[in-house]
Amino acid sequence: MDYPKDADGDSLRRVAEAGSDMSLPMTIDFAVDVPSETAARAVATLVAAQGFDPSISDNEGRGFWSIYCSKSMLATYERVVSVQAQLNELAKPHGGTCASWATFGNSH
């Protein structure tokens, strides 16, 4: 696969190079950071309604909360970028942003 030369493209290349079959779905965890527990619970409710499996973390006193939004999907560049934009739109009214994403791929 030929991915753009940016952070998302670099991450997708690493997933493929680690042995994942990029034509098959894999679970991807998108991290959304928000300023409070109240915001985290509100965003978790919103993303769950959009088909994500959310889990909330208080980040051990680091001053923000994270919602890990898991979804089984094809790991295409377009899809990863689109989901981050979707999560940013959902989180923005609550002071949040999609900070990153990660996957263990599907090679196991």
Three-state SS letters, 20-52: CCCCCCEEEEEEEEECCHHHHHHHHHHHHHCCC
> What is the average pLDDT score of the chain?
95
pLDDT digits (tens, 9 = 90+) for 41-90: 999 999 999 999 999 999 887 889 999 999 999 999 999 999 999 999 99
Domain boundaries, the chain: 33-108
Q: Tokens representing 70?
A: 């898991």
Is-above-0.85 flag for pTM?
yes
* Strand 97-103 with 26-34, pairing: antiparallel
The two tokens of residue 61 are 């006193």
Phi, psi of 4 (to 5 degrees): -60, 155
